[in-house]
Chains A and B, each alone.
Chain A
Amino acid sequence: MTTPSSRYDAIIVGGGHNGLVAAAYLARAGRKTLVLERRPLVGGAAVSEEIFPGFTFSVFSYVVSLLRPEIIRDLHLPRHGLQILPLESTVTPLDNGDYLASWPDADANRRELARHSPRDAEAAVQFGRLMHHMAMAVRPILGMVPPDPASLAPSDLAALLKLGKHFRGLGSERFHALYKLMTMSSADYLDEWYEFDPLKATKAASGIIGTMMGPRSPGSAYVLLHHYMGEIDGAFRAWGFQKGGTGGISNAIASSARAFGAEIRTNATVERVLVKGGRVTGVALANGDEISARVVVSGLDPRRTFLDLVERSEIPDDVVQGIERYKFRGSSGKVNLALSGLPSFTCMPGPGPHMRGAFSISPSLDYLERAYDDAKYGEFSRNPYMDIVIPSMIDPGMAPPGKHVMSIFVQYAPYHLNGGWTDAKREAFGDTVVKTLSRYAPNIESLILHRQVLSPADVERITGLSEGNIFGGELALHQLFFLRPVPQWARYRTPIRGYWQCGAGTHPGGGIMGASGRLAALEIVNGR
């Protein structure tokens, strides 16, 4: 056992993007900060790795838009390598051989939509405005430490009052619209606006990503809104792709944190958080080292934070119960392909600007719903929803010249698979994905040089995210805001003094926002 040369003000457990953001903010506030990351590289689920020689992948998370603009500004991220390249179009191949596309140009887009439904083309304009308002309405909440509605503490009351004032300020029309968005299914919500089913399906797909919900599950509309959130700040103008892959974002944040004076140690697995007399004293590493600190911040998910890193006896029973019933239910898989050339989609053959955008395999609401039905009963979807991008079309450095990398996000691959995930199941899942894709891009199989298939079990094993849930816990209404992860402990604190949480399992949740890390750090700096 080695004794640390100096004591840290704060230790961050886990170098995921939220942990790094928290570290950067703490360092910026003058705290002597140490980040401990189990893996050889930082980023958590936001990493780029050269999985096959010459082919670099955003292994897990692959696109960005939600990263909070204040974080970009405060941490000077562009100076540290943040460079977001546009991902402008989406093409949905249809079962009849046609397609539905969305283009960055408003006229082109309206024309394309009108081709399928003139009414939808008109509705889209008003829908877009409504979603803008909704995102505006939710934005202050994202930047807010959740007040406890049951608390009588002045700070909570003041925050509640502020919240009440905010909602009053929205006016009833928007408040009602927001209420609907919080409670409805995305399919029902979209049914109120649109008639063209593939359009509804492609939009509804945003509402199922990362959740164990179908497009017809009430509550999925909120997830849809969650994905609109990034659009209002003008930070990236919708969705984008980090140069060099998503790991570049993590690296930029890490670089910023270091510049502020934080220390980052990789290959450093935290075994336990040390607690003495209800107060945190430091951490013990897997190699036996103990490092002391006044504050320990866990960037891991709630289960690991509350149940794995500390002794259960340190946590009150009702909190343990609350964490135990917190739902993870990872439902997403990822297939990364190294390709010898560009695929050709039957609906839009050959190369073209659409190759720089996304392909959404979401031909109908029923298609998505049936994909969910499979998952409900413990099977991966026989016909899955897939969100496909070819990052090497946007950033040629991702693959050798002329060759490509393809990222396929797949829904649903339930963590709780009947019989559990095995190598055979994983490959069968990979085969299903490729087979499904080949219905729309027949030449895909002949182009595959290498294939990486990631089940939620793999996501859990590699990143540590419990049950492979990409949001650090389901984004369901009963697990949001002052209920995330559990009532009374939604303000980044834990029942152990000096022990904090800053992962996506806290408000406002996942999706490379960094907001949890920032809010936690600000609470630590201002709070005690």
Chain B
Amino acid sequence: MNRADNINGPETLLRDGAALSSVQSAESNNLRHRCPESAVPPYTPAGGTCPRASDNAPTRRQCQSPSQSRFTVTRDQRTLTAILKTTPFHARTAPLVRAQTWRRWAGYQVASGYEPHPEHEYASIRNSAALIDVSPLYKYLIGGRDAARLLDRMVTRDVAKCAVGRVLYTPWCDAHGKVIDDGTISRLDERTFRLTSAEPNTRWLAMNAVGLDVTVEDASARTGALALQGPLSRAILQQLTNADIGALKYFRLVHTTIRDIPVTISRTGYTGDLGYELWVDAERAIPLWDALIEAGTPYGITPAGIWALDIARIEAGLIMLDVDYFSSHHTIIDDQKSSPFEINLGWAVSADKGPYNGRRVLRAEKARAPQWGFVGLDVRWESLESIYAARALPPQLPTVAWRVSAPVYKDGKQVGYATSGCWSPLLKKYIALAHIAAPYYAVDTPVSLEVTVEHRRNRADAVVTKLPFFDPERKKA
């Protein structure tokens, strides 16, 4: 005659996946050994060259198409609202998702890809311009007298150095120096900052704000965000605004209008290419989309989904929460946590700023070599080819990035694990992001990566590589 209350859905996340906010994590089954819905293991079995069609596989937490996703039985909109939210651009993106390849991102329904294969969408990132709906990012507006102090005590970089009009990318840690989340801080004006994050941070912000004079607004739902990324993005934007886009430097922002729609344009992105992110009031999102498509069409603007973005970010060596590392707020055991130094963000840990969470520990860690390095792996083609050849097969390549943990060996001993990887269509290389224990994370260390071919485990030769894999001059120029 007893039963615990069932208000434990979020808690069952423990079993159902660590967090929902970052792309593609919702289907994960546990923290370290997760099997994301569309993850393709390194090398699919013969014939498996296209992404696993599991986007639409019937899972318990299946992402339904819009027409199915509302189970509304009564007059009241409160009643049984849709499980997933839709972004402010949904009316435009939804008709384009021709193969119903949807996924979850932070409780939103977003396109994995608009077309069944991401090749074209990816190519537009590197060749023309891709338009990516990144609205599910969490966005917080932080104001008040102590706004800078709040952020400064929270993040590892020196916010005092963030002048108006600048953007700062930074991780933030708990008191033990383990990373909670990462994101950007934009100084919108003297006293207002926008913080973006992969996970919700309302509670953490509130805990950090104790004793400080600040206001924190979760502007996630009322702000639409689009990433316009690619070599022609500048040209497209310049047509639409009076602001001097050419003069907008890397990690700077400008407030302007596009067809009378107020937008903030920041020269930021998650592709490692020339690109911009546009921040707009949700109510004006659709006309902004239309304007960009219209002006961009002559330049080959292409709506792109998460598959394409994922390949680009791996090439750029950019980490992803819940894939390459886990929030220390959500891990079960300490081994699952990472310090900034362990995920290649040592550069973002200020050596000389004032107090912030984790400072003591990070200072000490900086003084010694980190125990783990986060590096690139360049998998040797010849080695791959021979593994396949042994089974009388040509090499099979996944067309989307994989996100399963794959062991990395050195002299027969496991020295680390790769957390995501893909075939780089641009570099014509098989690349992966990996955590490698000291001292094997030194550049050029030969290691091997476990690959499964025809149900058998093999080890392919790889070389530790400095990140990013791809870093075009145009990114910052």
| Given known A45-B1, A107-B20, contact A102–B6 (CB-CB < 8 A) | yes
Q: Are B2 and A110 in contact (CB under 8 A)?
A: no
Q: Which residues of A contact B61 (CB under 8 A)?
A: 105-107
Contact of A118 among B3, B74, B78, B218 (CB under 8 A): B218
Q: Using an 8 Å CB-CB cutoff, how does the interface string of A222-257 with B read, 1 for contact, 0 for none?
A: 001001101100100111000000000000000000
How many residues of B are counted as interface, with CB atoms below 8 angstroms from the partner's CB atoms? 46
| Given known A119-B203, A349-B74, contact A65–B7 (CB-CB < 8 A) | no
Q: Which residues of A contact B11 (CB under 8 A)?
A: 124-125, 127-129, 131-132
**Which residues of chain A (463-501) have a CB below 8 Å from chain B?**
470-471
Q: Are B2 and A209 in contact (CB under 8 A)?
A: yes
Q: Which residues of B contact A360 (CB under 8 A)?
A: 5
| Given known A107-B104, A129-B14, A352-B79, contact A231–B8 (CB-CB < 8 A) | yes
Report the minimum CB–CB distance from A30 to chain B (whole Å): 34
Contact of A102 among B7, B60, B330 (CB under 8 A): B7
B13 within 8 A of A: yes
Q: Which residues of B contact A228 (CB under 8 A)?
A: 4, 8
Contact of B7 among A100, A111, A354 (CB under 8 A): A100
A453 within 8 A of B: no
With most chain B CB atoms within 10 A of its CB, the pick from A60, A122, A239 is: A122
Give the complex CA separation of A22 and B20 in angstroms: 44
Q: Which residue of B lies closest to A228 (CB)?
A: B4
B26 within 8 A of A: yes
B73 within 8 A of A: yes
Q: Which residue of B lies closest to A334 (CB)?
A: B1
Q: Are B15 and A234 in contact (CB under 8 A)?
A: yes
A25 within 8 A of B: no
Q: Which residues of A contact B76 (CB under 8 A)?
A: 348-349
Q: Which residue of A lies closest to B104 (CB)?
A: A107
A269 within 8 A of B: no
B347 within 8 A of A: no
Q: Using an 8 Å CB-CB cutoff, how does the interface string of A498-518 with B read, 1 for contact, 0 for none?
A: 000000000000110000000
Give the complex CA separation of A45 and B2 in angstroms: 11
Contact of B6 among A87, A107, A409 (CB under 8 A): A87
Q: Are B107 and A107 in contact (CB under 8 A)?
A: yes
Q: Are A210 and B83 in contact (CB under 8 A)?
A: no
Q: Which residue of A lies closest to B81 (CB)?
A: A111
Give the complex CA separation of A511 and B17 in angstroms: 28
Q: Which residue of B lies closest to A470 (CB)?
A: B1
Q: Are B7 and A199 in contact (CB under 8 A)?
A: yes
Q: Are A102 and B8 in contact (CB under 8 A)?
A: yes
Report the minimum CB–CB distance from A274 to chain B (whole Å): 33
Q: Using an 8 Å CB-CB cutoff, how does the interface string of A428-463 with B read, 1 for contact, 0 for none?
A: 000000000000000000000000000000000000
Contact of A106 among B12, B78, B201 (CB under 8 A): B12
Q: Are B17 and A238 in contact (CB under 8 A)?
A: no
B84 within 8 A of A: yes
Q: Are A206 and B5 in contact (CB under 8 A)?
A: yes
Q: Are B83 and A108 in contact (CB under 8 A)?
A: yes
| Given known A125-B330, A129-B332, contact A351–B73 (CB-CB < 8 A) | yes
Q: Using an 8 Å CB-CB cutoff, how does the interface string of B323-361 with A read, 1 for contact, 0 for none?
A: 000000110100000000000000000000000000000
Give the complex CA separation of A64 and B92 in angstroms: 47
Give the complex CA separation of A34 and B71 in angstroms: 53
Q: Are A113 and B73 in contact (CB under 8 A)?
A: no
Q: Which residue of A lies closest to B220 (CB)?
A: A118
A103 within 8 A of B: yes
Give the complex CA separation of A65 and B85 in angstroms: 32
Q: Are A231 and B4 in contact (CB under 8 A)?
A: yes
Report the minimum CB–CB distance from A301 to chain B (whole Å): 15
How many residues of A are counted as interface, with CB atoms below 8 angstroms from the partner's CB atoms? 75
| Given known A107-B107, A129-B14, A348-B79, contact A203–B2 (CB-CB < 8 A) | no
Q: Which residue of A lies closest to B80 (CB)?
A: A352
Q: Are A203 and B83 in contact (CB under 8 A)?
A: no
Q: Which residues of A contact B80 (CB under 8 A)?
A: 348, 352-354
Give the complex CA separation of A510 and B74 in angstroms: 40
Q: Which residues of A contact B317 (CB under 8 A)?
A: none
**Which residues of chain B (58-104) have a CB below 8 Å from chain A?**
60-61, 71, 73-76, 78-81, 83-85, 104
Q: Are A122 and B202 in contact (CB under 8 A)?
A: yes
Q: Which residue of A lies closest to B107 (CB)?
A: A107
Q: Which residues of B contact A105 (CB under 8 A)?
A: 9, 60-61, 83
With most chain B CB atoms within 10 A of its CB, the pick from A109, A112, A224 is: A109
A183 within 8 A of B: no
With most chain B CB atoms within 10 A of its CB, the pick from A87, A206, A471 is: A206
| Given known A132-B14, A199-B7, A353-B71, contact A121–B1 (CB-CB < 8 A) | no
B438 within 8 A of A: no
Give the complex CA separation of A231 and B3 in angstroms: 11
Report the minimum CB–CB distance from B62 to chain A (whole Å): 10
Q: Are B17 and A106 in contact (CB under 8 A)?
A: yes
Q: Which residue of A lies closest to B10 (CB)?
A: A124
Q: Which residues of A contact B163 (CB under 8 A)?
A: none
Q: Are B83 and A90 in contact (CB under 8 A)?
A: no
Report the minimum CB–CB distance from A500 to chain B (whole Å): 25
Q: Which residues of A contact B3 (CB under 8 A)?
A: 62-63, 65, 87, 206, 209, 227, 239, 358, 387, 409
Q: Are A119 and B202 in contact (CB under 8 A)?
A: yes
Q: Which residues of A contact B206 (CB under 8 A)?
A: 119
Q: Which residues of B contact A126 (CB under 8 A)?
A: 329-330
Give the complex CA separation of A112 and B463 in angstroms: 47
Q: Using an 8 Å CB-CB cutoff, how does the interface string of B202-223 with A read, 1 for contact, 0 for none?
A: 1110100000000000100000
Q: Which residues of A contact B84 (CB under 8 A)?
A: 107-108
With most chain A CB atoms within 10 A of its CB, the pick from B1, B9, B19 is: B1
B121 within 8 A of A: no
A322 within 8 A of B: no
Q: Which residues of B contact A122 (CB under 8 A)?
A: 200-204
Q: Are A128 and B14 in contact (CB under 8 A)?
A: yes
Q: Using an 8 Å CB-CB cutoff, how does the interface string of A133-168 with B read, 1 for contact, 0 for none?
A: 100000000000000000000000000000000000
| Given known A62-B1, A125-B11, A237-B15, contact A352–B71 (CB-CB < 8 A) | yes
Q: Are B200 and A510 in contact (CB under 8 A)?
A: no
Give the complex CA separation of A289 and B7 in angstroms: 51
Contact of A98 among B12, B20, B71, B78 (CB under 8 A): B78
Q: Are B9 and A60 in contact (CB under 8 A)?
A: no
Report the minimum CB–CB distance from B81 to chain A (whole Å): 7
A88 within 8 A of B: yes
B16 within 8 A of A: yes
**Which residues of chain B (174-210) have a CB below 8 Å from chain A?**
200-204, 206
Q: Are B9 and A203 in contact (CB under 8 A)?
A: no
**Which residues of chain B (8-51) have a CB below 8 Å from chain A?**
8-17, 19-20, 26
Q: Are B330 and A238 in contact (CB under 8 A)?
A: no
Report the minimum CB–CB distance from B139 to chain A (whole Å): 13
Q: Are B6 and A90 in contact (CB under 8 A)?
A: yes
A78 within 8 A of B: no
Contact of B2 among A112, A123, A510 (CB under 8 A): A510
Q: Which residues of B contact A106 (CB under 8 A)?
A: 9-10, 12-13, 16-17, 20, 26, 61
**Footprint of B on A, CB under 8 Å?**
45, 60-63, 65, 87-90, 92, 98-100, 102-113, 118-119, 121-129, 131-133, 199, 202-203, 205-206, 209-210, 224, 227-228, 230-231, 234, 237-239, 332, 334, 348-354, 357-358, 360, 362, 387, 409, 470-471, 510-511
8 residue pairs of the A-B complex, CB under 8 angstroms, read A106-B13, A106-B20, A107-B107, A109-B10, A110-B107, A128-B8, A209-B3, A354-B80
5 tightest A-B contacts by CB?
A128-B11, A109-B9, A227-B4, A90-B6, A124-B10
- Sample of 18 more A-B contacts, CB < 8 Å, known A124-B8, A238-B4, A358-B5: A89-B6, A100-B7, A105-B9, A108-B81, A109-B10, A111-B107, A113-B7, A118-B200, A124-B11, A126-B329, A206-B5, A231-B4, A237-B12, A239-B4, A349-B74, A349-B76, A409-B3, A470-B1
